Each structure stands twice: as C-alpha cells, then as structure tokens.
Structure 1
Amino acid sequence: MPVYNVEKYLNRCVDSVLNQRFQDFEIILINDGSTDKSGIICDEYARQDHRIKVIHKKNARVAAARNDGIKMARGTYVSFIDSDDWIEPEMFQVMVSKAEEFKLDFIMCDYKKKSDYFEDKRTQPIRGGYYSREDIKNELFQCLIMFEHIEFPPTISNWVCLFNLHFLLENNLLYDEDIHYCEDSLFGSKVMYHAKDFYYLKNQHYYNYFYNPNSTTNTYNEKKWNSYLKINQRLTEYFGDASEFDFSRQIKVNLLYFTLNALGQLKYAKYNAEERKDIIKEIMSHPKVKEMFKSFKTPSVPIGLNIAILLIKYRRVKLYNTLILR
C-alpha cells in the first residue's frame, strides 16, 4: 500500500483490510515521503498488529513503492491498494479461494467509483469466468493493450487484481519506476501477456475507488505528456516484435488515446489562450503523433470523437481549440 499524504483517508483504507473475512495476510505500508501525519499513523498500526510492516522512504512515486512491496512480500499472493481507497470485507476471501481452486496466475474483480456525491459501478466489456492460456490468446490479446474503441484494456486498474507472487517474480513483472502517470496500463498488459490462466469475477464490486475531481491527475502538464510517450515507447519495445500476436495497431490506438487525453486535459489547465494553442500545436506536431497517422484507419467511434481525431490528424489547432476545448 503506497502511502503519500493521505492522513484523512488512511485509517479507512487500512481498517478495510484488517476487517477482511480472510485474515491470513500481511500489510506492507510504504510511506513514500509523506509530509503530513501519514507516517505516524502507519507506525501506530504496526505497533498494534504484527502483520503490518512499514517502510519510510524518500518520495519516489507509486511505481517504486509497489516494487518495494513486491520484493518484500512473503505470501503466496500480492495485491495493491491505493491508500485513499478501501475494499469490501469479502474481497480477499473470495479471490484467494478462487485463485486456489484454479491455481491462477491472477484474478480480477470489479469496482465502484465513488466520491462524496455519487457511486458508479464499473465493469469490463469481457466475459466473466475462467480463461485458459488459449482463451487469453483468443479473447484477450485483441484488447491486451487497448480496446479498438480507444479505451484501456481490462487490466488497467491493477488494484482490482490479486497476483500470484511467484508468477510475478518468475516473469520479472515489476513496474517501470521512471513512469509516474498511468503506470498500471503497462504493468497490466505485461501481466496478461505472460499469464497461463486468469479469472474475472465480473459484477462482483469488491473495490471502492475514491474519485477526487480536483486531483491534478485530471489536468495537463508536460511531465504527464512525456510519461505517456514513454509508456507508448515501452509498449513498442515490449510487444512490437511479439510472435504470438500483432499488437502494432493497439500500440497506435494507445498513442491516440494518450494524445486525446493530453489535449482534453488542457480544458482544465491554467493556461492563457496563446499558451494553450502553443501546447496543442506542440502535441499535434509531435513526430510520434504524426507517424501514428500513417497507414492508420481511424477507429469506429462516435462522430464527436471522430471529428477530434481528424482535427489532430490534420493539425487544425485553432479549430480544435474552438470546437473541442471551448
């Protein structure tokens, strides 16, 4: 559990694990350089329960914290929980039981997206149940990196998954620590690519994701755009020469998603009109974005999204700024 300045939510998160019906676990709290009382709260939990271990470290972001947890873990399975979220009491009992029944590499449930004002149950557009290696190849490789309708793959939210620790270590499945945004997407695709089997607990919403509309993750910054480009490059390096499946189109759709995402976030960023147009032009004119559109058939998407894609393709900065970001 990566912990960074979450004193307001940390008790709710840790308590939701301690209140699990399944009790044979360890909790590893990675205090990632918090400047509030989060570190003190972590230490208090460790004093109260011998199953809780705490690491205090200089801030290195979520990917590094999760890697620390993987390397420290001593159990059969490992799960990641963001410290402002919480889980339902039956989550680990159900997931561990199913993982043991099928000897799974990993298993995934669904989640509820929550704020102080709404609750939205989320599920993935794939079937529930057991997937063999052949099932994964035949049904999930086609959306391993991206769905054709420009959405992230089923494994985008790593915190709804329970992983076999030996499987992760055997395949050297760790997070890229120099990627600080959307690190789940790359890790999840690698996990599914290597898995010999998988189980999806469809419509079983055991994880509660707390959505903060004021989060900086919803606004544009240059570091985020560079992280998006880095993820796409890593996907190209990892899957570009895969012999079992041609992932080249999904890699392009991934970059299209990131381009749309970065441009869309400008709507909420604090830039004046000229600064925003300069950033739009820079993104649209990026060599990787221009290269993406070569021999690329636009996905079948709603007309509004299709217009946005065409404006990017032909680098219509003023029109994009007026029509899409108004």
Structure 2
Amino acid sequence: MIKVSVVIPVHNGEKYIGKCVNGILNQSLKDIEVVLVENFSNDNSLNICNELAKKDSRVSVFQSFDKGTSFARKKGVLECKGKYITFSDQDDRYINKYALENMYNEIVKNESQICEFGHYKEYNPLFKKKVEKSSNIYTGKEIFNEGLKGALGIGNNFSATVWNKIYDADLVKQSVVNIDKGLFFAEDEYLNYHCFANDSLNRISTSEKCFYCWNVGVGFSSSNDSGLALLSDYDKIKPTINEKLKELNLDEILWTYNLETVYFCRSIIISLISKNEDKNKIFDIIDRIFKSESFILASDYFKSYTEREKVWVELNKLATVRDKQEFYNLCESGVVNNNENFLKKVIKKVLKKL
C-alpha cells in the first residue's frame, strides 16, 4: 500500500527538480510515490522528470495541458494512489529524512483529515527561520472558525499554503474536482478553500513539528507585477468564495476576507510608492485596481455594511474612493482613526500575510 503521495507541479524547474525528487526518494518512509506534473515548461524539465521516473518506479510523470499551478495540482491529485497526499514545490526540500514518516504517523495518530505542521523559511543557505505551531485538534464549528479562516489567509492557526500539510486522499480528491481556474499565485488558497469548505470534513489538526523547508525567493520572483498577478487570481476566485461565505452565514470571516482585499490593494500601491515608481504608472495601476472585480466586490460590501461604526475612516475611504489622486494620497499617508484600535490585531494578521 502506498501511504503517502507527494504531488509536485513542475514548470521550468530543470535547476531544482532532480535534487527535490531525490531528497524525497531518500526519505525513511519507503511506501511513497512522487507524482510529477509538468506544466508548460520551455526548458529541459520534462526530460529530467522522465529520467527520474526511469530510475525509480515510485516516480510517475504526467503533463497538464491546462495552464496554471492549480490545474497541475488537480491533475496530480487525481492520479495519486496513496492513502494520504502532500504537496511540494519543485525548489523546496524536507528538513530531514524522517519528515514524511512523521507526517504520516501524526495524521494517523490524530485521526484527522488534514494536518498542518510548522515549517522553515530558508532565505539563503546560511539563514533559515522556524515558523512554529501548537498541536491541536479541531472539530465542529472550529473547522470554519480556525481551518477555513486560515485557509483563506486570514487566520492564525492554519495557513493558506499547501506544502506544510498532509491530507486524506479521499477528501482532497473530492475537493479538487471543483477546481476550474488556472491560477499561478493564489493556487494554494484556491485548493485549500475547496478542502476546508468540503462538507465531508469533520476533523483537522495542527502539529508543533516542523519538516518542510521553503526556499524564499527561489522560483517565481517577486516583482512589481506579482501583486497585480495575484489580484488577477483574486478576481477569479473571490466572487465565488464570497458567495459561499454568505451561504454559510460566516459573517466574521466574510468581513475579514473583504478587509484583506482592500488592504492588499493598498499594499500594492504602497510598495510602488516606496520604490519611487513613476506616478503615472502608479495611477494606471490604481485604475486597474478600481476595475478589479474583487476590489469592486469588497467596495460594495463595505458601502452596504450596516454596522457603519465598525468601518473606520481609512477603510471607508479606501473602499469607496474613485479618485486616483485621493487613493494615492491615502496610500501615501495612511489616515489614522481612533475607531480602528479594536481591529488592530486583524490588520496585523492581514499585513503579516501580505
């Protein structure tokens, strides 16, 4: 029996994929499979993947002919044969050879359908930072209050990333069937949303143990365009997720989810201003934000929000202004209002994610 399947989407990964896969094959847990899904590479990635599969029967190679990491992961998940599924990026690694064995043992012990672990952020070969969690089990309403909220990137106990989790295969296979959009930047949130909003999910857990090492800054580069690319992904998924949150009467999560949209858009402009980008270019991007479906959705939400005293001055202006100069000024200076004190913790969480 295959205990754990590791799904790895591959896009222009010729520099990393061999080392990544060999590290997984050398894990102490041998009842595993590595599912590689090549997605529109224009380097030697596919040939390298095929060579890896020739050397070890536990490696299988597929191609996704729909562009986007979300489609590549969907293809990989549906091809998996393991009892549990986890994900890796092509340029990352596990911290030791016992990682998959311990992840498997932990989710079995907890009898959970999703288990999230701590992880390491590696900034360079000499410096990495440990991101820890506490060990807990969540059931019932906590699935939404902790799991779904975290999966959308607006909670504490769970995160939107997929590579620090191990999933029950039946759950994730049911969930990815609903993935119908090719995303590159919000693909983790998209997959986790479908898993954590799945009606059959009844038990999730977290573990204080850390196994995955995320190489920060490797692979997709962070550029001035990456914020707009993420906003484009948001335009594809946020309307659907907003409707689901309304359907489930998750008002608190809906509030925070729309708050994140507004302050994410603000962060794009703040970043450009801090880099002294041309003002006309910034105005063009503000215009793009004003036309963004996710921003319009958040704007309409706060315009119609009944508890107006909770919409402090800055948020109200950011969400409703349609003058580019005024939006620029708001981002540049940051209007402070005493009414925002009670939501400082929420903003801190949002900005930490961004």
What is the TM-score with the length of structure 2 in the denominator? 0.76
Aligned partner of 1:97 among 82, 93, 105: 105
CA–CA distance in structure 2, aligned partners of residues 318 and 224 of structure 1: 20
Residue in 2 that maps onto 1:248 = 254
Secondary structure of 1:35 counterpart: coil
Paired residues of 1:225 and 1:262 also in contact (CA < 8 A): no
Q: CA deviation at 1:244?
A: 7.0
Match of 2:210 in 1: 205
C-alpha distance in structure 1 between counterparts of 2:219 and 2:162, whole Å: 22
Write the deviation string for residues 235-270 of structure 1: whole angstroms up to 9, x where unpaired: 113322115776431332232243234434545889
Shift of 1:220: 2.8
> Which residue of 2 is the match for residue 11 of structure 1?
18
Aligned-partner SS, 2:159? helix
Deviation for aligned residue 1:81: 0.6
What SS class does the counterpart of residue 119 from structure 2 fall into?
strand
Structure 2: stretches of 5+ with no match in the other structure: 1-7, 335-354
Give the direction of change, closer, same or farther, for the CA distance of 1:298–1:177 in structure 2 (3 Å limit). Answer: farther
Alignment of 1:27-38 (within 5 A): 27-38=34-45
CA contact 1:284–1:312 (8 Å) conserved in 2: no
Tell me the distance in 2 between the aligned counterparts of 1:272 and 1:121: 37
Larger mean CA deviation between 9-18 and 257-266 belongs to 257-266
Report if aligned partners of 1:255, 1:289 keep a CA contact under 8 Å in 2. yes
Structure with the bigger RCO (C-alpha within 8 Å, sep 6+) is: 1
* Distance across 1 between alignment mates of 2:79 and 2:98: 25
Partner of 2:284: 278
Residue identity in the other structure for 2:94 = I
1:83-105 Cα offsets, whole Å, 9 max, x none, are 01111322211111122223321
Q: In structure 2, what is the equivalent of residue 186 of structure 1?
A: 190
Alpha-carbon distance in 2 for matches of 1:288, 1:96: 40
In the alignment, is residue 177 of structure 1 matched against residue 181 of structure 2? yes
Matched, 1:86 2:93: yes
SS in 1 for 2:28: coil
Compared CA separation, residues 98 and 318, structure 1 to 2 (3 A): closer
Moved more, 182-191 or 19-28: 182-191
Residues 298, 97 of structure 1: CA spacing in aligned structure 2 closer, same or farther, 3 A cutoff? farther
Instruction: Give yes or no for contact 2:151–2:189 (8 Å, CA) kept in 1.
Output: no
Matches of 2:61 and 2:76, distance apart in 1:
10
Q: Contact 2:262 / 2:318 at 8 angstroms: preserved in 1?
A: no
CA distance in 1, matches of 2:310, 2:50: 50
Q: Which runs of 5+ in 1 are unaligned?
A: 301-305
Q: Which residue does the alignment assign to 1:168?
A: 172
3-state secondary structure, aligned to 2:74? helix
Deviations 1:9-57 (A, max 9, x none): 2122112211211110111111212222222221111111011011245
| Identity percentage of aligned residues | 19
* 1:225 equivalenced with 2:231 (yes/no): yes
Deviation at 1:290, TM superposition (A): 2.8
Give the paired residue count.
Answer: 313
Tell me how far 1:317 sits from its aligned partner: 3.0
Which amino acid counterpart does residue 213 of structure 2 have in structure 1?
N
What is the aligned counterpart of 2:299 among 290, 295, 311? 290
Provide closer, same or farther for how the CA distance between residues 119 and 102 of structure 1 changes in structure 2, counting only shifts above 3 A.
Answer: closer
User: Cα RMSD (Å) of the superposition?
Assistant: 3.3
CA distance in 2, matches of 1:223, 1:14: 29
CA shift at 1:138, angstroms? 5.7
2:333 counterpart of 1:319: no
SS at match of 1:154: coil
TM-score (norm 1): 0.82
Separation in 2, partners of 1:181, 1:153: 22
Structure 2: how far apart are the matches of 1:115 and 1:2?
A: 22
Measured in 2, the distance between the counterparts of 1:42 and 1:270 equals: 43
| Structure 1 pair 92–103 and aligned structure 2 pair: CA distance change class (3 A) | same
Amino acid at match of 2:299: K
Which residue of the partner structure matches residue 63 of structure 1?
A: 70
> Secondary structure of the equivalent of 1:155?
coil
Partners of 2:273 and 2:332 within 8 A in 1: no
Q: d(CA) in 1 for partners of 2:43 and 2:60? A: 19
SS of the equivalent of 1:43 reads helix
